[in-house]
Amino acid sequence: MLLPQFIALRYARAGSKRSFVAFINRFSILGITLGIAALIIVLSVMNGLEAQLKSRILGILPHVVASASPNQVSGLNFDDERVLSTASYLEQEVVVQSRTHVKGVILQGVDTEKNAAYSMIAQSMRQGSYDSLGAGEFNLVLSQTLANQLSVSVGQKVRLISPQTSVHSPFGKLPSQRLFTVTGIFNVASEMDDKVVVVHWHDAAKLMRKKPEIIATTRLFLQDPFEYEKIVRTLRNANIDFTLWRERQGALFDAVKMEKNMMTLMLTLVILVAGFNVVSALVMVVAEKRADIAILQTQGMLPRQITQVFVLNGIFNGCVGVVGGVILGLGGVYLLNPLLDLMNFGLAFGDNGQSLPIDVRWLQVTLILSCTILLCGLASLYPAKMAAAIKPANGLRTA
């Protein structure tokens, strides 16, 4: 161990024996510990909430819908692996009518074979089968929430009415309509559950009085719906119109991101305050160690080495706070749901409706720890420069 490191570690340990200076030192370390722990817990919960909203809401809504045929879209060079699949897609606002209820919903006409591997609806089936949506069979899949609202179950029929498409009849123009059989019920637990019904895109085209072979709309499944810039740029360069999920739910995710950023800023200020406490503690240590500093200088220790001693002292204190914050934060993250369950706090976020979503991202944790240690090092520069500026004669005279 080098001499500055040895003395810095000795000062960090010896300070615990001195009442007031030790109190200030422990107070600054405790502030760092609590700030890091709170930041880890809050960010983990916010990450989990954002990921859950992404999977539930954007699992139902299409990520990107291009106004071109699947052959045209698949022929584009997206130059990355962000596009998982492309499939024929139709969408229109319709009215679904059961024997007792009527409700306006969004009709999604999907290509079952290509959608099944990437569709959240296909992975969230509770009754029936997603594969039952075959071309020409006029089957329909809806959510458990919507099924309860319409009082229907698997095997019963509902009527889909397309107000935007009309047909001629002896009574004049009437909206296009057709009976569909409910063959599946899903439960994504999303706010979009009761707003969407799913049919095969061939059947959707017939309801809209369009020929399936001339439909030129393609749904793109993205690996990460938030990483859409390159995809959008490629579609623009090919002069293909498109609609993006942000047009419907962008405001919600922007609000979640803003809340996450503000919580991060607020808790970062707590860590900054704790960092300023490190300055106060080191200033008091420097005042207390004036005689020691003067003696070290008379023994040949350079001002640069004196500066290193107190900078390392501040970094040691920061490392203690960081280790304590990580232990307390990760312990709080993994014990949070059991504690809330013990206190009988009913929450409706988790898969069972009784837990908070947790997503610990180690890159964020590493960034927090690195920035905290850097902050402690920077905060220690001023008292370290004060210590290096002490004249040996003055230090020994005031001792």
Residues 227, 85 share a domain: yes
pTM: 0.76
Which pLDDT tens digits describe the chain residue by residue (399 residues)? 577 777 777 766 655 455 566 777 777 788 888 889 988 998 898 888 888 888 888 888 889 999 888 888 877 877 667 888 888 899 889 999 999 899 999 999 998 888 888 888 888 899 988 888 988 899 999 999 999 999 999 999 999 998 887 666 565 577 888 999 999 999 988 888 888 999 999 999 888 888 877 776 889 988 888 888 888 888 888 888 899 998 888 888 888 888 888 888 888 888 888 777 778 878 877 777 778 778 877 877 888 888 888 888 888 888 888 999 999 999 988 888 888 777 766 555 555 555 778 888 889 889 988 888 888 888 888 888 888 887 776 666 655
Residues 341, 278 share a domain: yes
Residues 236, 330 share a domain: no
Residues of 281-309 as b/e, b for ≥16 C-beta within 10 angstroms? bbbbbbeebbebbbebbeeebeeebbbbb
Q: Return the closest-CA partner of residue 2 out of 347, 305, 321, 319.
A: 305
Locus of tokens 């954007």: 58
**Structurally, how many domains does the chain consist of?**
2
- Among 203, 227, 244, give the residue marking a domain's end: 244
Locus of tokens 């503000």: 262
Domain that holds residue 370: 3-54+252-397
Q: How many helices (H) and strands (E) does the chain have?
A: 13, 10
Say if 59 falls within a structural domain. Answer: no
CA distances to 54, 136, 153, 338 from 342, in Å: 29, 52, 37, 6
Q: Return the closest-CA partner of residue 209 out of 180, 179, 178, 182.
A: 178
Residue-level pLDDT at 194: 87
Structure-block tokens of residue 302: 């350079």
Residues 188, 69 share a domain: yes
- Among 213, 244, 275, give the residue marking a domain's end: 244
- Among 184, 215, 244, give the residue marking a domain's end: 244
Say if 11 falls within a structural domain. Answer: yes
Q: Return the closest-CA partner of residue 312 out of 249, 260, 377.
A: 377
